[in-house]
Amino acid sequence: EIVLTQSPGTLSLSPGERASLSCRASQSVTSSNLAWYQQKPGQAPRLLIYGASTRATGIPDRFSGSGSGTDFTLTISRLEPEDCAVYYCQQYGSLPRTFGQGTKVEIK
Amino acid sequence: EVQLVESGGGLVQPGGSLRISCAASGFIFSNYWMSWVRQAPGKGLEWVASIEKGGYEKNYVDSVKGRFTISRDNAQSSLSLQMNSLRVDDTAIYYCAYGVWFFNYWGQGALVTVSS
């Protein structure tokens, strides 16, 4: 099983700042099969990124993904108040599908 | 518009059984793998099971193998999860999700509480 470790646990930034969220895998993720989700309180997760760097339909271009192998990053270029949420990475290169434990983004 | 609507959640005693369902609309259900993902209260996400388009191939996380069964009815555009021998640590919101690799669309979730 591939274990995904996200850091930091919590990120507290001001509107307009840049956020970098890390996701590190315990072994190489096949073909960059990594996705990112956003989850706001009381809501279901929303797909942001798949294939490590492809934005899902309707996702603003301030969200971008990068990385390969065991190290991946989600970047939010200019934080907006509505970006306050928990962000999860997920690998789908092998079974079982696994998620990271999440990074909480707070807006100051 | 893709819609996934779960139903059937509730309170069940340890060792009991429960069946939750998901009604799908807005896409050709029989063309897609479907999955269940759960989230324990205040915790992260955990993939539970996936089923291929025709319902023949199924995958499960180890912790539910032999206890949970995923199934689908393509004529009714419906996905189900039969949960037997439920344990306290199965308590979670269960989300129906479209996809088998990553999950493009999610339902609002069904809360399953296992408690005596």
Confidence at B99, pLDDT banded by 50, 70, 90: confident
Query: Nearest 5°: CA angle at B60, between B99 and A30?
Result: 60
- The type of residue at B86 is L
CB contact under 8 A, B46 and A99: yes
Interface A-B: count of C-beta contacts within 8 A? 51
% of chain A beyond a pLDDT of 70? 100
Q: Which of A97, A103, A104 to mutate to test the interface with B (most CBs of B within 10 A)?
A: A97
Q: What are phi and psi of B43, to 5 degrees?
A: -115, -175
**Does the pLDDT at position B10 exceed 90?**
yes
Confidence at A26, pLDDT banded by 50, 70, 90: very high
Does B90 contact chain A (CB < 8 Å)?
A: no
Does B76 contact chain A (CB < 8 Å)?
A: no
Those of residues 88-107 in A touching chain B at CB distance below 8 A are 88, 90, 92, 95-102
What is the nearest CA distance from B58 to chain A, expressed in angstroms?
12
Q: In Å, how far are B24, B29, B37, B88 from B40, measured between CA atoms?
A: 23, 27, 10, 10
Average pLDDT over residues B86-95: 98
**Does the pLDDT at position B64 exceed 90?**
yes
Does B85 contact chain A (CB < 8 Å)?
A: no
Q: What is the pLDDT of residues A47-74, one digit of tens each?
A: 999 999 999 999 999 999 999 999 999 9
**Number of separate helices (H) and strands (E) present in chain A:** 0, 11
**Does the pLDDT at position B100 exceed 90?**
no
CB contact under 8 A, A56 and B104: yes
Nearest-Å Rg of the Cα atoms of chain B is 13
Average pLDDT over residues A43-47: 97
Confidence at A23, pLDDT banded by 50, 70, 90: very high
- pLDDT on residue B63: 97
**Does the pLDDT at position A38 exceed 90?**
yes
Give which of B51, B21, B36, B43 is closest to B89, Cα–Cα: B43
Average pLDDT over residues A23-52: 95
**Does the pLDDT at position A33 exceed 90?**
yes
Confidence at A31, pLDDT banded by 50, 70, 90: confident
- pLDDT on residue A101: 98
Average pLDDT over residues B53-80: 97
